[in-house]
Amino acid sequence: MFIDTHCHLTDEYEGGVDDVIKRANNANIGAIICATADPNDIKPALNIAKNHKNIFVTTGIHPDYINYNPNEYLTDEILNNPLVIGVGEIGLDYHYNPQTRTQQIELFEKQLNIAYKHNLPVAIHTREAEEDTANILTDKYNGVMHCFTSSWNLAKTMLDRGFYFSASGILTFKNSESIRETFAKIPNDRIVIETDAPYCAPIPYRGKTCEPAMVIETAKVLAQIKNLQIEDLETILFENTQRLYSKCHVKL
Ligand SMILES: [Zn+2]
């Protein structure tokens, strides 16, 4: 099976979350990891995970939500839940909000400390913030650079620190040649895949609402880049995901 390691499912998901999960399962996507960006999505995501097989959650507050206090949302009770397998998505985004840099860094560091205390991997969002990301995200932490589209330079730095890299639908886009080159150079045992649904639907679904079933299109392109049979890639990605998220106990 393939695992969509990062998407945003809520009860209000377009098309109905039950059907979306069913379509994913029918397409050999046997497990799904729901990430939260808006802290108000944590409870709905946990509900979905509780009521379906092989749905897991990473809980975090995205840099768009600087006015929330992580201590109120990333509580011991939440993080000790067996279905909560990581902290994310967290990070820095200077593309839309460069003016909140200081608050973003503060929020990011607080959540990194929480993840460290709970010995949980982190799912990192970084956009136009490479230097601060590299300075803050030391090898004290472990986790994944989600929807990775940054430079080879940042990839190299984070590879040396033991991080994983997640390829999204952007890998399939025509103008993503440099991202494909980056993933070609990242060792096979450091890669996972995701949709980041409902965003970034891969080719041939561009413009549609993205959903976990579509992660297979990213897998196909990755198999080409890596010159692997899709079945071999499937095994590698499954093992990588289990190594990255040790609480992700997938039922076969
Ligand atoms: Zn996301």
| Alpha carbon 236 to chain centroid, angstroms | 17
Quote the domain boundaries for residue 239: 2-244
Does residue 43 sit within a domain?
Answer: yes
Is residue 250 situated within a structural domain?
Answer: no
Residue 39 DSSP symbol: G
42-74 pLDDT, tens digit per residue, is 999 999 999 999 999 999 999 999 999 999 999
Predicted confidence at residue 11, as pLDDT, reads 77
Q: Residue 26: inside a domain, yes or no? A: yes
Residue 136: which pLDDT band, with cuts at 50, 70 and 90?
A: very high
Per-residue pLDDT reduced to its tens digit, 176-208: 999 999 999 999 999 999 999 999 999 999 999
Determine the distance separating the centroid of ligand 1 and the alpha carbon of 194, expressed in angstroms. 9
The pLDDT, as a whole number, for residue 13 is 79
pLDDT at 14: 76
d(CA 148, CA 171): 9
Q: Could you read off the pLDDT of 81-134 as tens digits, one per residue? A: 999 999 999 999 999 999 999 999 999 999 999 999 999 999 999 999 999 999
Query: What is residue 22's predicted lDDT score, i.e. its pLDDT?
Result: 97
- Among 180, 101, 105, 189, smallest CA distance to 148 is for 180
252 inside domain = no
- Rounded CA gap, 56 and 228, in Å? 28
CA of residue 227 to ligand 1 center, whole Å: 28
Whether residue 126 is contained in a domain is answered as yes
Ligand 1 centroid from CA 4, angstroms: 12
Give the pLDDT mean for 150-162.
98
Return the minimum-mean-pLDDT range out of 13-17, 83-87, 242-246.
13-17
**231 within domain boundaries:** yes
How many whole angstroms from 148 Cα to the centroid of ligand 1? 11
Work out the angle between the directed axes of helices 215-226 and 230-244 (0-180°, nearest 10): 110
Instruction: Give the CA distances from residue 117 to residues 63, 66, 111, 227, in Å, rounded to whole numbers and listed in that order.
Output: 21, 21, 10, 39
For residue 10, being part of any structural domain is answered with yes
Q: How far is the CA of 143 from the centre of ligand 1 (A)?
A: 14
Domains contained in the chain, number: 1
Partnered with residue 192 across adjacent β-strands are 166
C-alpha 60 – ligand 1 centre gap (Å): 10
**The domain that contains 229 carries what CATH number?**
3.20.20.140
Rounded distance from Cα 90 to ligand 1 centre (Å): 9
In this prediction, residue 46 carries a pLDDT of: 97
pLDDT of residue 144: 98
* CA of residue 185 to ligand 1 center, whole Å: 24
Q: Which amino acid is at 187?
A: P
Residue 24, pLDDT > 80, answer yes
